[in-house]
Amino acid sequence: KNTNFFCYLRKLIVCQSLNRHSHSFLSSSSYILTSIYSFKGRNNTTYQEEKRKEMGRGKIEIKRIENSSNRHVTYSKRRNGILKKAKEISVLCDAHVSVIIFATSGKMHEFSSTPLVDILDQYHKLTGRRLWDAKHEKDNDNKQIELRHLKGEDISSFNCRELMILEDALENGLTRIRDKQNEFFRMMRKKRQLEIASINRNIGEIGEVFEQTTNAFCL
């Protein structure tokens, strides 16, 4: 910046030297001083503008957003941004990326460039740690056995009491399924009735318009 200033000053002095026969030294000096202050003012203004641009917006304080609506909007925007970045890095860098996000409502959003099972297997191999411990594996095995029993598999060794317990469980499950099915049918029937009522209203309105138009032509 100082170099630019002195170059600018030197050009002014040369110009004034060439025109010294038509102007007095005093007027030349005044002109140079005025130009210097103009240059400095212009340079200072430019510097301040550049400084303001560099500062940009202030940093947002990272803390929990109290307003639920604003929190939901921010979550949606940042979630989409994270998933977008994950997809981009997987494509640009041929990286294996997996992102799982759970909202406070429990809803899950995810992205996985490769099957999640493959990524977990790779994680297990590299870290030597498994996400499932012995207790979870045992619980999972028990659930698989119960599921097979509910499907009528592996029950040849059951005694009468065990078969009755299984039958009760199946009947209770069947009752819940039928209740849910009936609820679904009621909702569909109600929706269909509303659609029919809307169609009938439209037909009635069209009939009224047609009748009014016909009467107008007859008159």
Q: What is the pLDDT of residues 186-200, one digit of tens each?
A: 999 999 999 999 999
Helix axes 25-55, 2-18, angle to 10 degrees: 160
DSSP letter string, 1-59: -HHHHHHHHHHHHHHHHHTTTTS-HHHHHHHHHHHHHHHHHHHHHHHHHHHHHHH-SPP
Distances (CA, A) of 52 to 42, 46, 194: 15, 10, 61
Tokens of residue 208, six digits: 């009224």
What integer pLDDT is reported at residue 58 of this predicted model?
59
What integer pLDDT is reported at residue 23 of this predicted model?
47
Question: What single-letter amino acid sits at 204?
Answer: G
Identify the CA nearest to 100 among candidates 86, 121, 118: 86
Main-chain dihedrals φ then ψ at residue 26, nearest 5 degrees: -65, -45
What integer pLDDT is reported at residue 139 of this predicted model?
81
What is the set of domains in the chain, with CATH numbers?
Answer: 2-54 (no CATH), 71-131 (3.40.1810.10)
What integer pLDDT is reported at residue 7 of this predicted model?
60
Low-confidence residues of the chain, pLDDT below 50? 1-2, 18, 20-26, 28-29, 31-33, 36, 39-40, 42-44, 47
The answer to whether the CB of 113 falls within 8 A of the CB of 96 is yes
What integer pLDDT is reported at residue 168 of this predicted model?
92
The answer to whether the CB of 63 falls within 8 A of the CB of 71 is no
Question: Which residues are within 8 A (CB) of 99 and not within 5 positions of it... i.e. 6 or more apart?
Answer: 82, 83, 86, 110, 111, 112
